[in-house]
Structures are given as C-alpha cells and as structure tokens.
Amino acid sequence: MLFQLVSLSVVFIGGILAEYKNYDGFKILEVNFQNPRVKKYVQEIDKNLGFMPDFLGENWKQKQAHYFIDKDSVEKVRTNLDSHNITYQMRDVNPQIFKVRKRRDLNGAVTINDVNNRYLSYDEQMQFLNSIAQQYPDDVKLQKIGNSYEGRSLTAVRIGDDGSSKPIVWIDAGVHAREWISYNVALYLVYTIVSQPAYRDLLNSVQLVVVPNTNPDGYEYSRTNDRMWRKTRSRFTNGRCAGADANRNYPFFWGTQGVSHSQCSEIYCGSRPQSEPEVMALTNAITREETRIKGYIALHSYGQEILYPWGHTMRTYPSDVQDLITVGKAMAAAIRAVNNTDYNVVNSGDGLYPAAGASDDWAKSRGIKYSYTIELSPIDDYTGFSLPEDRINQVCREAFQAVQVLMIEVRSKFGLRQTTSSAASAAAQSSLLLKRMRTSVSRGFGRGK
C-alpha cells in the first residue's frame, strides 16, 4: 500500500531542518469510467487489484477517477488493468505538489491578504482567528471544543451568537489533512461574513459556526513531513501506522462500507466509532445544539462536487432528498455565477462511492436537515490538493456564495423572524436564485448537473 517503506529527503521548513516524504516513482492513475464495464471495475477496484488504492478525487466532467499508486504497485496495477482491458493513463506526479516552501516572514499579524494568497500553518490560522475575534468582539466568539490527539486546540468560531435560539449553519473544514484549500475557505468565510455590513441582516436571523481546522495534527504533519497525509495522527499500541480517517470514524453505520479496518489504510475507520478525539469533540459539540443546527457543510477537496446523503451505501436517500437537491443546485448556481465554475450536485453514495462513518451522514442522522460535503476545486489531478496559491481567493469567493445560499434557505425555513432588509443585494440575488431553482429543478435522484 501507499505508506510502506519510503525514502525520506531533507528539506527546510520555516528554517527548521525536517524530513519530508519522497514520492519518487509514484504515479497518478487516471481511469475513464464512462463505459459501464469500466465503471463496474472502478467500483470494485479494491477487489480487482487486491488492495484499495488511495483515491485522490474525480473529474466528473470527463468521468475520470484519480488514484495515487505507490511505486512498488505500479507494475501490478498496470498488469491488472491490461488483463481487464481497461484503458487508463499512468501519469507522473506533479512535482509541484511536493515542493515545500520556506515559510515567509509574516512581519506581524496574519491578515485576510495572507488567507487569500497562501496556505497557513495551524498557528497562523489561530493567530488570524484571534485577531478577528479581537476586532469584532460583539460578533465573533472563539469556543474551544476539545483537543486533538497531539493536544492542539480545536476551535469553533461562533458568529452572530447573541444568546438567542436562532438557527445555526455549521461548517467544518480540513478533516482530511492534505486538502489544504478547505482551511483557507473556512477562514475566508469567517472574515467575510463579519467584516461586510451587507451580511448583518442575515446574521441577525441565522448564526454561523465554523470549525476551520478539524484535524490540526494531520495538517501540520502534511506541511512538515508528508504532503499526502490524510488521516489524524493517533498512535496505536503495537501499531505499524499512525492515524485514522476521521471521515470514517463517525457513529453512523460505522465500519460498514468503503472503509478499512487495517491501520495502515488511508480509509482506516479507527478502532471504534469516535475513537479519534477530534471526532469525539465535534460530535459532542454538534450534539449539544443539534436541534438548532439546520445546515451542515463539511469542506473537502477536490472535484467540484456538492454531495448529499446518504453516503454510507448506494441508492438510498433521506425522505427529504428533493430539498437537499434543490438547495444543492442553488448553491451550485451561486458558485457558477461568480466565475462560471461548475460544481456537480450528486448523491455521495451513487456519484462518488459509498463510504460509511462520514460526518455528513452522521449530521443528517441527527436531524440536521441540509447536510452536505463540498469537494472544492480543482477538478483535475494536475494540482490536486496543492491548488496553486493564486487560485485560493476565487475558490473562497465561490464557496462563500454557496454558504450564503444555505444560510438564506435556513433563514426562510427556520428563521425566528423574517427580515425585509434592503441591505444585502447579493443575499437578495441568492434568494431569487433559490426560488428559480425551486421551480426549475428536475425531479430524480443520483448524478446530474
């Protein structure tokens, strides 16, 4: 599998000598699954290959799935694909992905400019949040919801929490360490909604809670040791490999499909549900106010997809799935309005793959009506998890529009008081968009744009 013995190279990170995992000889496998026969092969790729390759993301427009193949398995994978008559591409990994940058001197405070232009360390993320909380003390409260395995603080940013019982939209990011864009998006959401007066009115009727870094140990590890690190950093007694996939560790159909029970797998579901302290902290925090939480988004990358439940198995949907599709499509339309970027709205089990124990399914099972996973940009494998820093801002602006649509929907369905604001013209536009989507949305499940 992927994380077997590998050579380590020496790099400088922030002036500190560190060892960074070397992926020489690894390949990206790209399989076009348009043909139903190939699709079936891909759906059972673990059985076909005899192991589960590391799934990176998919390009739904071209119906291509991308996997990361370790150098010792490349020949085996080629032989297997050839023997099944599957056409594929075996690409070299973009070396940019493994380019570790020397940390720039921040010269003091971390600003929105930094969030828009570069990936930040966990400490920098926290510094940014602290400065926002200081700047907007009436609107922003930082709440510690627990500690990571290595003792880093897990912080929820509560925006517009005025002690009332207004409905909540909950966003969390970065449960998968290597999906770096998600952290910047979460920080951008916090900043934008509090700093722009146009959103005051919305915040008066809907509260936003953002957990910008749900896996700080994994994230730091992906910055300093291993760019492709996905899991938490829990250590197990007698364990050969560290970490569990926190997005397989939630207590809903835990351990059933699309997971592995072996510690070295990228999709190891942990020893039991909520074995990961990060998942325990998040489930506790959400459960405490679950009756008020009406919208939930887990930010991931990559693939430009808005995924709705259920995702633990295929062809199974919640009874209000049409509402999820309608609002999902309105979010996609709001994203498209920014710069024509296409996001596909699709059921996660059918459209991507079944994977049990994920946060979106669990949130839905707790009664949170609108629960989604958003796979942010890019859509291709050329930059994958290392979306170039000059594209961060656009992805942030797009995601903000999607969140705004969800907040507006939550306000109109669950808001304590309706407002007739003239303030947010953007908000009004999204509302209109949502109405249009409602009337035009086609009925039917599964894949579809």
Active site residues: 375
360 binds, among Zn ion, ligand 0X9, none (CB under 5 to 8 A by kind): ligand 0X9
Query: Binder to ligand 0X9 among 213, 222, 348, 386 (CB under 6 A)?
Result: 348
Which stretch, 87-95, 138-146, 357-365, 418-426, contacts ligand 0X9 (CB under 6 A)?
A: 357-365
Which stretch, 33-41, 70-78, 154-162, 355-363, contacts ligand 0X9 (CB under 6 A)?
A: 355-363
Query: Binder to ligand 0X9 among 355, 363, 410, 424 (CB under 6 A)?
Result: 355
For the chain, the maximum distance between any two Cα atoms, rounded to a whole number of angstroms, is: 64
Contact predicate 30/91, CB 8 Å: yes
DSSP characters for 115-180?
Answer: HHHS---HHHHHHHHHHHHHH-TTTEEEEEEEE-TT-PEEEEEEES--SS---EEEEEE-SSTT-T
Considering the rule CB under 6 A, would residue 57 count as an interface residue with ligand 0X9?
yes
Q: How far is the CB of 128 from ligand 0X9 (least distance, A)?
A: 24
Burial of residue 235, with CB atoms counted within 10 A of its CB: 0-12 exposed, 13-18 middle, 19 or more buried = exposed
Contact predicate 31/109, CB 8 Å: no
HSE, side-chain direction, 13 A CA sphere, residue 325: 20
- Which residue's CB atom is positioned nearest to ligand 0X9? 311
Taking the C-alpha atoms of residue 100 and residue 424, their distance in angstroms, rounded to an integer, is 41
Contact predicate 211/284, CB 8 Å: no
311 binds, among ligand 0X9, Zn ion, none (CB under 5 to 8 A by kind): ligand 0X9
Taking the C-alpha atoms of residue 253 and residue 406, their distance in angstroms, rounded to an integer, is 26
Which residue, 307 or 396, has its beta carbon nearer to ligand 0X9?
Answer: 307
Taking the C-alpha atoms of residue 361 and residue 303, their distance in angstroms, rounded to an integer, is 19
DSSP characters for 176-203?
Answer: STT-THHHHHHHHHHHHHHH-GGGHHHH
Partnered with residue 296 across adjacent β-strands are 170, 371
- Near Zn ion in 146-185, by CB under 5 A: 176, 179
Q: How far is the CB of 20 from ligand 0X9 (least distance, A)?
A: 22
Residue 105's CB is within 10 A of a number of other CB atoms, namely 8
Which residue, 129 or 299, has its beta carbon nearer to ligand 0X9?
Answer: 299
Q: How far is the CB of 355 from ligand 0X9 (least distance, A)?
A: 4
Which residue, 199 or 229, has its beta carbon nearer to Zn ion?
Answer: 229
373 binds, among Zn ion, ligand 0X9, none (CB under 5 to 8 A by kind): ligand 0X9
Considering the rule CB under 5 A, would residue 300 count as an interface residue with Zn ion?
yes
Query: Binder to ligand 0X9 among 223, 300, 369, 411 (CB under 6 A)?
Result: 300
Taking the C-alpha atoms of residue 359 and residue 371, their distance in angstroms, rounded to an integer, is 9
Which stretch, 5-13, 153-161, 358-366, 415-423, contacts ligand 0X9 (CB under 6 A)?
A: 358-366
Q: Where along the sequence are the contacts to ligand 0X9 (CB under 6 A)?
A: 57, 176, 179, 247, 300, 307, 311-312, 348, 352, 355, 358, 360-361, 373, 375
Q: Where along the sequence are the contacts to Zn ion (CB under 5 A)?
A: 176, 179, 300
